[in-house]
Amino acid sequence: MRKFAFETVDVFTEERFGGNQLAVFTDARGLSDAEMQSLAAEMNYSETTFVLPAEDAANTARIRIFTRTHEMPFAGHPNVGTAFVLARHGRAGDGALRFEEIAGLVEVKVSQDAAGEVTGATIAAPQPLSTGVELPAEAIAACAGLAPSDVVVANHRPVRASVGVFFVLAEVTSEALSRATPDLSQFRAIRDANPGLEGRFSLFIYARDGATIRARMFAPISGTWEDPATGSASATVAALLLSLDGGDSAAFTLTQGVEMGRPSLLRLTASRGADGIRATVGGSCVPVFRGEALL
């Protein structure tokens, strides 16, 4: 019988049983791809991470991220939560970690309280902002159980965008955000009708009041009916808003998961650089479980 240790944390929250749940397998050596996918499905969280030795000795670790159904090239809350766990294991001596991932190198800064205890982390997304296909407001409204007039198009149309992993981003009215309900059949219809989505469709809807954002994320096709905190999508929104607003940099706070009873708080920045607009996302974490998987 093989044993693999794991820890779970609640990410983007200071309160246990808030935020987004994450399972971290702290030493995944010996696990096959199929076993990692099976363990992620068994944990039944939106994502599970597996820590492996770095290919470059200058980096901290190689991180693989799995949803219930597939591997991800990058994701926000898995990086923040994994950094929190590894820092508590003493692997961030200088307060920083470097993770090798499919989407590229992810740099992480660990946050601590006055007593030196690790409280959370902030990650830099591995890629600058890129945008792709735009989608009709009417179709996005149908996916979220809303009326077309609930989708705000004055600033941008619903658009596929990424800073490491793609989401469709759509602004909605503040009132509509809380009553959105995903329609799986509509998600499938839009995915199948739009080759530019490359067979995957996760929808991040948000309402903005200056630098304060409220958001929800639906990915029912991949098994996540709703996500309480989506760091990669939030970072993408920050980068997109800076591209629309102008200026050299911007900072935002984003609240998600309220409708699920798992409120999350994400701190975002975006800045212009030589290769485009880059973003960061950070927040607090709380440890919850420790255990072993038996294979």
Backbone angles phi, psi at 291, to 5 degrees: -170, -170
The C-alpha atoms of residue 122 and residue 127 are separated, in whole angstroms, by 15
Q: Is 187 helix (H, G, I), strand (E, B) or coil?
A: helix
Residue 257: closest CA among 222, 217, 221: 217
Q: What share of the chain is helix, strand, coil (3-state, %, to 5)?
A: 25, 40, 35
Residues forming the active site: 47
Give dist(CA 45, CA 243) in Å, integer.
32
* Residue 199 backbone phi and psi in degrees, to 5: 85, 0
CA separation for the pair 77, 20 (Å, rounded): 7
Helical spans, DSSP H, in the chain:
33-43, 76-88, 137-143, 174-179, 184-193, 231-245
CA atoms lying within 13 Å on the CB side of residue 141: 15
Q: Considering only CA atoms, which of 288, 209, 268 is closest in space to residue 6?
A: 288
Taking a C-beta distance cutoff of 8 angstroms, is the pair 126, 105 a contact? yes
Virtual torsion, Cα 16, 19, 21, 22, nearest 10 deg: -100
